[in-house]
Amino acid sequence: MISERMIAMTKSSSAIRAMFEEGMRLAAIHGSENVFDFSLGNPNFPAPAALNRAIAQVLEDTDPTVVHGYMPNAGFPAVRTAVAENLNARFGTAFTAENILMTVGAAGGLNVILNVLLNPGDEVVVIAPYFLEYGNYIRNFGGVLRVVQAEEGTFQIDPAAVAAACNEKTKAVIVNNPNNPTGVIYPAETIRALAEALEARQQELGTSIYLLSDEPYRELAYDGADVPYIPCFYRNTIVGYSWSKSMSLPGERIGYLVIPSEIDDYGLIWDAACTSNRILGFVNAPSLLQLAVARCLNEKTDISAYDRNRQALYNGLTALGFECVYPRGAFYLWMKTPGDEKAFIEAAKRHCLLLVPGSSFAMPGYARLAYCVSPDRIARSMPAFAQLAREFGLGK
Ligand code: PLP
């Protein structure tokens, strides 16, 4: 018999797998061009040409025993220095290589840091709706999730509620900005208020509460929106970043953690994070990708195609009468389901529309649509959405 912990985790991740299988089933019946799959956050746009060139150049001009060899568990020192300097230029920080730990994507980074921070029974605060994998990452290390609801309607953070959810056992709060699944961006005033509330709560409790800033969507912010850099607001911040979304590289598994020198127990945390990276089975982030992304740090993410998709989907769906949150970042649209969530998701499937139920983000009554798809797919899906809207009595 396998571990009970894994039985529970496998069950909780079955919804996304079921959606994937449903997509394949529908494609076999109707043809893949007639299935409108809005379920996966898998960028449909190619990685920048500069990144592909950088991979080729690294292979051409770097000693193969270096490119394909082991390195310090935190990553190549020169890559970490380049990342630190890039962040310093953008955010006015003073990071060095000793603050940057290269990771196997954002997921790898979160697991590394949660492994470092959590004793069994320690708590981590998450804000619902949230990326459901957080639950598994936290339970991996015997941690306990404490869920705080986002503000109704706006899906912004309620700083007082987050602080109130913290107790002696709270090790961390996870904030994801821009947000998956809502597409909301938390502005500087919200982050400032959260920082003040957490600072006060730390003082009251006499503990350290680390804010884990999960930022795989940092570069995907529309209309010139600012995504505040949380280490500039709250001292005990650890940042998790990945190039999965900004450079369309989710399969390559490359990202980093920023562990600022100013955080409580920096030395202990840094050393333990390097060990954690090794013993969780990653050993180090992929070497070729480390060297390639370091050459592309000034590459600007072209978000114009996502932006057009965002407008097309939001305008199309709201015109049909669907209630949606105006997305300001990431590539997700958050929609209120008219009527029962399950019935709506099932009805959508009958029209070959694959949406992720809000309950997959711990908030039933909503659906998430990933618009990192081809523009043509959005345009061609509109008649199906129109039929769905009529079925649920929306519109005129
Ligand atoms: N955090 C959030 C909010 C995400 O949406 C995702 C991926 O979809 C991740 C973390 C994991 O990112 P990565 O693929 O870089 O591990």
The per-residue pLDDT for range 78-122, each reduced to its tens digit, is: 999 999 999 999 999 999 999 999 999 999 999 999 999 999 999
SS3 state at 356? strand
Whole-number pLDDT of residue 5: 86
* Residue 62 to residue 348: CA distance in whole angstroms: 51
Once rounded to an integer, what is the mean pLDDT over residues 386-396? 91
Query: Measured between alpha carbons, how far is residue 7 from residues 2, 3, 12 in Å?
Result: 7, 6, 9
Contact 111, 143 (CB under 8 A): no
**Ligand 1 neighbour 107 (Cβ under 6 A):** yes
CA atoms within 13 Å, Cβ hemisphere of 248? 19
**Ligand 1 neighbour 111 (Cβ under 6 A):** no
Q: Are strands 323-325 and 332-336 parallel, antiparallel or unpaired?
A: antiparallel
**Ligand 1 neighbour 180 (Cβ under 6 A):** yes
- Of the chain, the end-to-end C-alpha distance in Å amounts to 56
179, 184, 245: residue to mutate for ligand 1 pocket, most atoms within 8 A of CB: 245
Contact 233, 207 (CB under 8 A): no
Residue 14 has pLDDT above 70, yes or no: no
Residue 150 has pLDDT above 90, yes or no: yes
Q: Whose Cα sits closest to atom 5 in ligand 1?
A: 180
The per-type count for the chain, helices as H runs and strands as E runs, is: 14, 13
Whole-number pLDDT of residue 334: 98
What is the tens place of the pLDDT at every residue in 294-346?
999 999 889 999 999 999 999 999 999 999 999 999 999 999 999 899 999 99
Whole-number pLDDT of residue 301: 85
Atom of ligand 1 nearest to the CA of 107: 16
* Residue 61 to residue 24: CA distance in whole angstroms: 42
Residue 293 has pLDDT above 90, yes or no: yes
- Provide the whole-model pTM: 0.96
Better pLDDT: 302 or 198: 198
Residue 16 has pLDDT above 70, yes or no: no
Q: Which of 20-34, 40-54, 378-392 has the highest mean pLDDT?
A: 378-392
Once rounded to an integer, what is the mean pLDDT over residues 7-13? 80
Whole-number pLDDT of residue 40: 87
Name which of 16-30, 169-183, 262-276 the model is least confident about. Answer: 16-30
**Ligand 1 neighbour 255 (Cβ under 6 A):** yes
Whole-number pLDDT of residue 396: 59
